[in-house]
Chain A
Amino acid sequence: MKLEDLKKIREKAEKDIVLRDGKSRIKVTVGMGTSGIAAGARETLKAFLEEIEKRGLHDVLVTQAGEKGLSSHEPVVTVSEEGKGQVVYGNVTRDVAVKIVAEHLVNGSPVSANIIEVNK
């Protein structure tokens, strides 16, 4: 093994334990209350995880939370970005989730059709 090889292993392995340091650029919180789950939040969550993995976005944290009270708009997803505030999305189906990853997380432009609230 060379020193560069060690560096490569480290770079790869670091991504697998990033959760334990709590360091991330963007946090995606999926509302997983009872009504969220009933509206398909599990699928939404899975879609986020798959899509993020596919694109290799290692600085994005996906986590879950209770419901916000907007039952009619479930699944509800909040995207928070360091220094840029929060965007709350409603009716996030699998397709919308994929769209949010591509447009918001990668390109930085929120998916306006599904926004319910923006907190600065």
Chain B
Amino acid sequence: MKKRLDVLICGGGACLSSHSQDVKNKFIEVLKAKGLTDEINLVETGCMGPCEMGPVMVVYPDGSFYVQLTENDVEPIVEEHFLKGRPYQKKLWAAPEARKIVEEKRQVPFFEKQQKVVLALCGKIDPESVDEYIANRGYEALGKVVTEMTPEAVIEEMLKSGQRGRGGAGFPTGLKWKFGKASEGKQKYIVCNADEGDPGAFMDRAVLEGDPHSVIEGMAIAAYSIGADKGFVYCRAEYPLAIKRLEAALKQARAMGLLGKNIFESGFSFDIEVRMGAGAFVCGEETALMASIEGKRGQPRPKPPFPAQKGLWGHPTVINNVETLAAIRHIILNGADWYASIGTEKSKGTKVFALSGKVVNTGLVEVPMGITLRELLYDIGGGIPNGKKFKAVQTGGPSGGCIPAAHMDTPLDYESLTKLGAIMGSGGVIVLDEDTCMVNVAKFFLEFSVEESCGQCAPCRIGLKQMHDLLEKICEGKGKMEDLDLLESLAHTIKATSLCGLGQTAPNPVLSTMKYFRDEYEAHIKEQRCPAGVCKDLISYVVDESKCIGCTACARTCPVSAISGAPKQKHRIDPSICTRCGSCIVKCPVKAIYIGPGAVKREVESKKLHLEKTL
């Protein structure tokens, strides 16, 4: 029977964790019970983007976009929408900006300003069906390349497109391939770097989960251009779904002869193997990644020689990132000029960003390069939740920096971000609001880098630890103004002398927060005050006695018995015992507890006093 509805339910990582699988199974059950299985096509897709609203689902041909589905919504949706043709209003996406229910996916502001190239098929096709990929011109670019174009012509096209590597450094893809092609060697390799490790970045996972064939096709085209016959995808073991779907896609591609010997009868042979990483951040660095693939300990080595000269097992190797590879078929199909027409003069094409943190619509978005931060956060991201004030965004994760509110209208491209001391990185955008302490943010990212340092070179292993200790001191209110100079000088030394990218970029979060939020550092040091009210040693919880009703809820929840006061009497928090856990603030029914500024040092004396009192 002809299918009359396509029901696409998101099977991306975020929706799966909000139980989209249960919703899907319920749909299967209800559709079967009502005898609709033959006329309604239920498809599980990759990530659709608005992860905050998961589980999400879109129904075609009308394009109704459902959000936050539970099993209980399944019956009414089938009954009302699938049978009677009336979209179930209760779970349609009501865009907070528009204050109205949006019936069609394309009208949702979240989607309106996006331009999907790499993510075009994520959330639109079944990632485990090669047919659906082929229906969207899949493997046509590979066919064209191997039967009609010389490797030189492909590289020329890539150079013309101006595409730059999406892994972070922004090196032109065409140039990398040119070096790979020029390198002498019988055996060459192409590697896909899917070791996505930045906190808050998940675009590569989404592509592998939602459209794995596009990465395979990109790798095959790259391999043809440089003369490789073997490829590796290096993916972290923490991405089991991505690996599962990629393996399934590889199997299908092999079965159809799209991988293997003599592809499209052109004489070109190529196959891909998946290698799993154990989750070390440093293995995203290309030389460490190669060591890991070779079965060695994942440690970087000095460059040069660059991988394109001497890579895997000493053979020329080209390493590209997932997002870079997924865009390649579009460049071949639509032409370099088309790609180059998107974006800015030096940053071409589209970029996928992973929005997270204090923003209404967290999730994955794809926009043309050069869009402003304001458009990204407010038009697509929906602004800051709970009426809070925007403070900054952190881009590029632990290697990047922050962009404060004053630079909201900066175009997002490689050059502008570098100029501000932030970097494009892989595209993770963490939004911070007024309740975020920038010193604490810097400390968080440094802690990450300290943990992930491989320990091979001293600047990174010892230097970062020293920087971290200084920041800890400042957060405890024990910092001195000289510490800021010391931090800065350490940062520059580490940047200049570290062996690999991890160490060379790890001080960036400290440098950029010191550049834009020096006042916060100074408040911590000079006044022992944390302006955002985050650093535990520099805040106190205070009961507003004019509001306290003496219900004892706070005293009962306090894990360290720091709150005293009889029923119906005003309560008090003893700052010398209080651990600043914040549980009282949550429990108070009349919002009488607030975070007070100013440091209250915990003194041993007062602890003793309390002990005596309780004994």
Binding site for B on A (CB under 8 A): 1-3, 6, 9-10, 12-14, 16-17, 19-20, 22, 24, 29, 32-34, 37, 42, 45-46, 49-50, 52-53, 61-66
Q: Tell me, in angstroms, the Cα distance from A10 to B1 when the chains sit together.
A: 20
Judging by beta carbons under 8 Å apart, are B4 and A49 in contact? yes
The segment from B57-65, B288-296, B425-433 found at the interface with A is B57-65
Q: Tell me, in angstroms, the Cα distance from A12 to B263 when the chains sit together.
A: 21
Could you say which interface size class chain B belongs to? Answer: 35 or more
Give a binary string over B310-322; 1 marks a CB under 8 Å from any A CB, 0 the rest: 0000000000000
In the complex, the number of residue pairs spanning A and B with C-beta atoms less than 8 Å apart equals: 96
Residues of A contacting B591 with CB < 8 Å? none
Interface centre among A10, A34, A65 (most CB of B within 10 A): A10
Give a binary string over B46-86; 1 marks a CB under 8 Å from any A CB, 0 the rest: 00000000000000111100000000000000000011111
Given A1-B264, A20-B6, A64-B85, A53–B1 Cβ distance below 8 Å?
yes
Contact of A17 among B6, B140, B143 (CB under 8 A): B6
Given A6-B140, A32-B84, A19–B61 Cβ distance below 8 Å?
yes
Contact of A33 among B5, B84, B131 (CB under 8 A): B84
Given A50-B2, A52-B2, A13–B85 Cβ distance below 8 Å?
no
When C-beta atoms are compared, the residue in chain A nearest to B264 turns out to be A3
Q: Tell me, in angstroms, the Cα distance from A42 to B39 when the chains sit together.
A: 11
Residues of A contacting B1 with CB < 8 Å? 46, 49-50, 53
Residues of B contacting A66 with CB < 8 Å? 84-86
Judging by beta carbons under 8 Å apart, are B135 and A63 in contact? no
Residues of A contacting B265 with CB < 8 Å? 2
- Distance to closest chain B CB from A65 (angstroms): 4
Give a binary string over B114-127; 1 marks a CB under 8 Å from any A CB, 0 the rest: 00000000001100
Q: Tell me, in angstroms, the Cα distance from A50 to B263 when the chains sit together.
A: 39
Interface centre among B1, B139, B263 (most CB of A within 10 A): B1
Residues of B contacting A46 with CB < 8 Å? 1, 39
Judging by beta carbons under 8 Å apart, are A22 and B86 in contact? no
Residues of B contacting A14 with CB < 8 Å? 135
Q: Tell me, in angstroms, the Cα distance from A34 to B143 when the chains sit together.
A: 52
Judging by beta carbons under 8 Å apart, are B134 and A53 in contact? no
Whether B258 sits at the interface, judged by CB under 8 Å, is: yes
Whether B137 sits at the interface, judged by CB under 8 Å, is: yes
Judging by beta carbons under 8 Å apart, are B131 and A63 in contact? no
Q: List 25 A-B contacts (CB under 8 A).
A: A1-B256, A1-B263, A6-B139, A10-B134, A10-B137, A16-B135, A17-B6, A17-B132, A19-B6, A19-B60, A19-B61, A20-B124, A22-B60, A32-B84, A37-B84, A42-B83, A49-B3, A49-B38, A50-B2, A62-B2, A63-B62, A64-B82, A64-B84, A64-B85, A66-B84
When C-beta atoms are compared, the residue in chain B nearest to A15 turns out to be B135
Residues of A contacting B124 with CB < 8 Å? 20
Contact of B125 among A2, A17, A52, A61 (CB under 8 A): A17
- Distance to closest chain A CB from B272 (angstroms): 17
Judging by beta carbons under 8 Å apart, are B61 and A37 in contact? no
